[in-house]
Amino acid sequence: MEKKEKHYSLLKGALIFIIIAFILTWIIPAGGYGSSGYTQTGMARLGIYDIAYNIYYAVSFGVDKIILLLAIGALYGLLSRTQGYERIVSGIAGKIKHKKIAVVAFSVVIAALTSLLTQTFVVLIFIPFIISILNRMKLDKMTILATTFGSMLVGIMGATYGTDGLYWFNYYLGYTLEFPFNAPALLVRAGILVIGLILFNFFTITHMNKVDEKAPSVDLFAVTVSEDNVKKTKSMIPIIIIGILILAISILGFMDWDGNFGVNTFNDFHEFLTEDIKIEASDTTNDFYVFQDLLGSGMKAFGSWDNVTITAVLVIFIGILALCYRFKLKDLFESIISGIKKMILPIACIAGAYLLMIVVYQSTYVATIVNRILTLTDTFNIATMTLSSLILNIFHTDLGFTGWVMGAYLPVEYVDYINPVYVMFTSLYGFVQFFIPTSMILGIGLVLLKIKYGEWLKYIWRFLLGMFICLLIIFILMAII
């Protein structure tokens, strides 16, 4: 029973949460917000057919994240069969003399990347590698979870230019983040990132001081190299080169250079590469566009990449590594399959999170709940707005969906308070991801590292309490200044 609890307590919690959301479609009428305010549209009950339809819809909605997870599993499944990867991981861990400084450094880098890059899941590419290093440093599972997945959650809470859903939230609210800080709330959110990192790492270090040195650790992809493969997979050079390329490509591809910083260089280069370089034919309709045809018409400029694009890149690098280390076809398939198997439960976390969102999308009763709360006061109120934001973010899973529901209303009704409102919704979205059972990043971390949901809540509640107080103070100061 203990073993099952470790694996499935979070998924059970998510299922209960989804069932409650489904039942509420029979109790609370649906509604919607427009620029003129709230309109009730009547009951939108979901039936038996809708269960199957919503599951299909949820999986299709998260398919880009699912295939990226599978590619990450395949990549590390392959790396775990090479001696070179073990040499790199052990070498880095062996050179780290101060564990606490290393933990804080990893945390800052992970949170900063999550806060800046337009897609949260791209950061997951590097998490198994960091986990392996932390494992070689003999750190316990909770410290590893906090340093990796926990730091990603800090980055989501302190989102500046990046994270999933922020683009669409900005779009529906008519908000811009273009450099240099046209949105005053951007600096405040950067401050929330810093405060979150300081407070979060304080509790991480406190935990490290208390934990037993013999506490169990974990490694997602333990290296197992057969004797006949040790020599041919010993070189570190292919892995180092591809690792650096993946990091560079991720930063270039997922930083919105044009939209956030007004940098058009990559768009202009992409246009030149795909449209200007061609071999002309007698019939212009048959012109051979060299890079466009070779890369595919769906290839996007740096700064506007998505999860599908980086997945394709990972697949190419997997093939290159297989060739470099002369993997037999059978060994290649075995390593890839072993890595993919580790991603089955994380995929269930993604499906569960989107299933919740699809339920409330089919029956928008959350808008009705929020309307009841907001109308308790005639003007902007910190308490009602904070509670409304918490409820919306708990049920919606995706910040962009919250923008779709509220985006036409908030800038009109709260035009004089749009900056504190904006910060409330974006920061509280990240805040609730620390504890709701349908949090994708949290869920993936818990099931991969085999940590109980209850153990995480016991670990994180002090941080949540302190961070919530800090956020309330920030909201109040923004409202009165």
206 exposed, middle or buried (CB, 10 Å; 0-12, 13-18, 19+)?
exposed
Identify which of 96, 97, 201, 108 has the alpha carbon closest to the alpha carbon of residue 146. Answer: 201
Task: Name, in order, each residue with C-beta under 8 angstroms of 375's C-beta and a sequence gap of 6 or more.
Answer: none
- Segments in 29-82 forming alpha helices (H): 48-61, 63-79
Phi-psi region of 446 (alpha: psi -120 to 50; beta: other; left: phi over 0): alpha
- What are the structure tokens assigned to 219, written together? 């490694």
Q: Is a pLDDT exceeding 50 seen at residue 470?
A: yes
* pLDDT at residue 290, as a whole number: 65
Query: Tens digits of per-residue pLDDT, 54-63?
Result: 888 888 888 9
**Which tokens in the block code for residue 204?**
């991480």
CA distance 114 to 120: 6
Cβ neighbours of residue 11 closer than 8 Å, sequence gap 6 or more: 345, 348, 349, 352, 443, 447
Cβ burial of 226 (10 Å; 0-12, 13-18, 19+) is: exposed
Distance CA 277, CA 213 (A): 60
- Each residue's pLDDT tens digit, 382-398: 999 999 999 999 988 88
Distance CA 441, CA 438 (A): 9
Selected residue with higher pLDDT from 110 and 407 = 110
pLDDT for residue 5: 45
Residue given tokens 């880095």 in the structure block: 92
pTM exceeds 0.75: yes
Q: Is the pLDDT of residue 7 over 70?
A: no
The number of CA neighbours under 13 Å toward the Cβ of 147 is 30
pLDDT tens digits for range 137-158: 999 999 999 999 999 999 999 9
Query: Tokens in use for 35?
Result: 């620029």
C-alpha–C-alpha distance, residues 393 and 425, integer Å: 8
User: At 295, is the secondary structure helix, strand, or coil?
Assistant: helix
Q: CA 77 to CA 58: how far, in whole Å?
A: 27
Residues 445, 453 contacting (CB under 8 angstroms): no
Q: Is the per-residue pLDDT at 3 higher than 80?
A: no
Burial class (CB in 10 A: 0-12, 13-18, 19+), 481: exposed
Backbone angles phi, psi at 281, to 5 degrees: -110, 165
| pLDDT top residue among 259 and 210 | 210
Reported residue count of the chain is 481
Q: Do residues 177 and 446 lie in contact, with contact meaning Cβ atoms separated by under 8 Å?
A: no
Element (H, E) at 110: helix 99-116
44: pLDDT strictly greater than 50: yes
Q: How many Å apart are CA 350 and CA 333, to the nearest integer?
A: 25
CB 364 within 8 A of CB 373: no
For strands 30-34 and 288-289, give the pairing: unpaired
